[in-house]
Amino acid sequence: MRIAATTLLVLLVAPMALGQGAPPASVRLDMVRQEVVREQVTGVATVEPWLRTSLSTEIAGLVETYPLREGDEVIAGKTLVCELKKKTLLIDLAEAEALLARAQAETDSQVETARATMEEMAALMAQAERSRLRAVKLLDEKVITQAELDDAEAAATAAISRHARARKDYELALQGADPAAKAREAEVRRAKARLDRVRDQIEKTTIKSPVNGRVVRRLTEVGSWVSAGSPVLEIVTLDRVLIRVGVNERDVAKIALGNPVIIRVDAHPGRKFSGEVRYLVPEAGTRTRSFPVLIEVPNPDGALLAGMFARVSIGCGEGRPGLTVHKDAVVTGPQGSVVWTLGEMVDVKMGDMEFQLPSAKMIPVKVGLAVDDRVEVRGPGLGPDMPVVTTGNEQLFPGRPLSPPRPKPEEGAKPESGEPR
């Protein structure tokens, strides 16, 4: 209502002011943009971490080291979170190593005994064979009887059999196939398992962060006893975040996965964050009767923090090309909506100085869809990159001189001649 009254007053006094030489109006400009225009679903949302995790201990123990505080950054696989006392486990490790060494020594001893027996039987077999050959020669010389030769041959055969049995026992010992060897091998495996279990428990006394993120809550202290499964630290991951917004039943059917989203937060005025719809929860809240929509937003600089309130604009549908202006560029009065742009140059005299300034030109427009802080407009002569007035447009009338702000010089540029340094 105030804008309408102001515009009407300006239209009434405009001819008189122009006749008296109205002073230039100080204004700010923005550009008309050609962009894709979509229907928007808006809402107030909450920033959530992409991941919230409570780190827990796998074994019971006494907390010996606990260095992190709230807000500290953690790196996956590197940052030490907590360390439990391990003195008793180190004693168990020494005992387990000793038991394994003894079991392996017993196994090695049995194999060595079998090998020595086999070598002894080989020597006896060779000796018996030499005795048999000597008996054959002596029988030919009629020094001994046939019975004595038969005894020598029997002894040689028995020696061969004993050597074959000893050789088989040795091979079975090497393979662990004989009953005694199987028992010894089982004892070795049992000792190895115990040693591995103690080593695993020692490794679990040192807890490192499995994710990148920041600490939000400490859940124990140095000197505290923790049980297996007790949480010790809560961490959130914020390199990307989820923004949760409730959408009513009328609008939820318009939203699809992948729809673009523009996000604003009060902590960063003037800054826009971009995201897309990642999840649609297919169940309305029992109290709010709204459907949760989760929006994924990249957050590489950590500007978005868990718990922040955000305002979101979700683009729906395929969209269409259109012209948009900043919402402050549109002035609504009795004759409808208009935007102001730069018109013809006019001569302006201020004291002894005369110069030219652009004049205000009014363009009637029809307003379409709202796109975040911009609105779709259609009007005669509007085109991409056309300057329109966003500040000071309530005081304008056709032909009034405009004093747009001088563009800021590029960083590092030298001032023009005559400008103050």
Task: For CA atoms 33, 38, 44, 50, give the dihedral sign.
Answer: negative
H or E element at residue 256: none
Tokens 């957050």 correspond to 299
Dist. CA 265–CA 272, nearest whole Å:
8
- pLDDT top residue among 58 and 113: 58
The confidence score (pLDDT) of residue 355 equals: 82
* Parallel/antiparallel/unpaired status of strands 402-403 and 353-371: unpaired
Task: Reply yes or no on whether the pLDDT at 179 is more than 50.
Answer: yes
Beta-carbon-side half-sphere exposure of residue 40 (alpha carbons within 13 Å) = 19
Q: What does the pLDDT average to over 292-302?
A: 95
Dist. CA 103–CA 107, nearest whole Å:
6
Dist. CA 76–CA 61, nearest whole Å:
23
Residues forming beta bridges with residue 30, ordered by sequence position: 388
Predicted TM-score (pTM) of the model is: 0.62
The confidence score (pLDDT) of residue 21 equals: 61
CA 373 to chain centre: 30
The confidence score (pLDDT) of residue 105 equals: 75
Closest CA to 397 of 2, 1, 24: 24
Taking only the tens place, the pLDDT of each residue in 306-330 is: 999 999 999 888 888 999 999 999 9
H or E element at residue 50: strand 33-56
Fold exhibited by the domain 2-49+238-403: Elongation Factor Tu (Ef-tu); domain 3 (2.40.30)
The confidence score (pLDDT) of residue 10 equals: 38
CA 303 to chain centre: 15
The confidence score (pLDDT) of residue 317 equals: 82
Taking only the tens place, the pLDDT of each residue in 43-92 is: 999 999 999 999 999 999 999 999 999 999 999 999 999 999 999 999 99
Task: Reply yes or no on whether the pLDDT at 8 is more than 60.
Answer: no
Q: What does the pLDDT average to over 2-24?
A: 45
Taking only the tens place, the pLDDT of each residue in 276-292 is: 999 999 999 888 889 99
Task: Reply yes or no on whether the pLDDT at 305 is more than 50.
Answer: yes
The confidence score (pLDDT) of residue 405 equals: 60
Closest CA to 236 of 63, 77, 55: 55
Residue type, 224: S
Dist. CA 373–CA 264, nearest whole Å:
10
Task: For CA atoms 109, 110, 115, 117, give the dihedral sign.
Answer: positive
The confidence score (pLDDT) of residue 225 equals: 95
The confidence score (pLDDT) of residue 403 equals: 86
Residue type, 332: T
Dist. CA 296–CA 245, nearest whole Å:
12
Fold exhibited by the domain 57-84+204-237: OB fold (Dihydrolipoamide Acetyltransferase, E2P) (2.40.50)
The confidence score (pLDDT) of residue 86 equals: 93
- Mean pLDDT computed over every residue of the chain: 84
Taking only the tens place, the pLDDT of each residue in 132-142 is: 888 888 878 87
Give ∠ CA 386-34-253 in degrees, rounded to 5.
140
Dist. CA 266–CA 268, nearest whole Å:
5
Weakest-pLDDT range from 19-33, 54-68, 176-190, 227-241: 176-190
Asked if residues 331 and 3 have their Cβ atoms less than 8 Å apart, the reply is yes
Asked if residues 391 and 339 have their Cβ atoms less than 8 Å apart, the reply is no
